[in-house]
Structure 1
Amino acid sequence: MVGAARGLRGRSPGVLGAVCLVLVLTGCSDSGSGGSGSTASASASSPAAGGGANRIGIKNFAFGPGTLTVKPGSVVTVTNNDSTTHTLTATGAKAFDTGDIAAGKTVTFTAPAKAGSYPYICTIHPFMKGTLTVG
């Protein structure tokens, strides 16, 4: 790698930056260890703590699944697969609210401890609706 860096002396910073990026990405590649490669989370909660089933995706200005059933106090992972910011906010008493979820980001929240049906919307795009059922 030192020899490669020596050969780049006198090159523009853009070329050097591109070479460094390639080296970093090559060194960080997942060689089949089963990891997803994504660790982004806008919450202090660990997405792994919520298990794999408690997931809501946002794509094409819709929540999927539209209805999700979880156990009380479960961690729910929300991934925004759209190119614009969204929220996932309980209506009424606001039992949960992710805040803004930037495009391509993932956040988590804790489901209410009380069993029931909790409708939610995107406060930025109120036509987007879903329901979290806690039971």
Structure 2
Amino acid sequence: MPFSFPTGAARFVAATACALALTSLVGCSNGEGGGGDSTTESATSPSKSGGTQVTINDFKFQPASLTVSPGAKVTVVNNDTTTHTLTASKGGSFDTGDIDPGKSATFTAPSKPGDFPYTCTIHPLMKGTLTVE
């Protein structure tokens, strides 16, 4: 019996399943490849509300390095296909908790100046740095 390609809703379901499988295969990557020279984007990104914004897209924090004032509000927007967090790597200074796809969360930057590395606790290869000055 020859194979027939699905049509209509079955084709949509099959295409969606394939897309999800490929997303899983891509895995957790910050795009740096683990070696060689890498550049890190650094910026202060004002959001529409006058605060600062980090966007998650393609398993990357954008910008990966962010400079803010002490106590600044930082909004994290998840434009990715899976749930992420933005969590201080040491000391629990800030943590968005789980951010579902298409959702956002806000946290307050530490009041003490310094560099605060962060990661996604679900995908630990996603990394960034919050600088408070």
**Bucket of the pairwise TM-score, normalised by the shorter protein:** 0.5 to 0.7
Amino acid at match of 2:130: L
- Is 1:104 the equivalent of 2:92? no
Runs of 4+ in 1 over 4 A off after TM superposition: none
* CA RMSD, Structure 1 to Structure 2 (Å): 1.1
Measure, in 2, the Cα distance between the counterparts of 1:106 and 1:124.
16
Matched, 1:124 2:103: no
Q: Unpaired runs of 5+ in structure 1?
A: 1-46
- Name stretches of at least 5 consecutive residues in structure 2 with no aligned partner: 1-47
Residue 93 (structure 1) aligned with residue 128 (structure 2): no
| TM-score w.r.t. length of structure 1 | 0.62
Does residue 76 in structure 1 map to residue 70 in structure 2?
A: no
Measured after TM superposition, the shift of residue 94 of structure 1 is 1.3
Alignment of 1:10-29 (within 5 A): none
Which amino acid in 2 is paired with 1:58?
Answer: I
Q: C-alpha separation between the residues in 1 aligned to 2:90 and 2:69?
A: 20
Alpha-carbon distance in 1 for matches of 2:105, 2:57: 15
SS of 1:127's equivalent in the other structure is coil
Q: Is 1:61 matched up with 2:94? A: no
Give the secondary-structure state (helix, strand or coil) at the position aligned to 2:128.
Answer: strand
Q: Quick one: which amino acid aligns to residue 105 of structure 1? A: K
TM-score for the superposition, normalised by structure 2: 0.63
User: Aligned AA for 2:127?
Assistant: K
Please report how far the alpha carbon of residue 106 of structure 1 lies from its aligned counterpart in structure 2 after TM superposition: 1.0
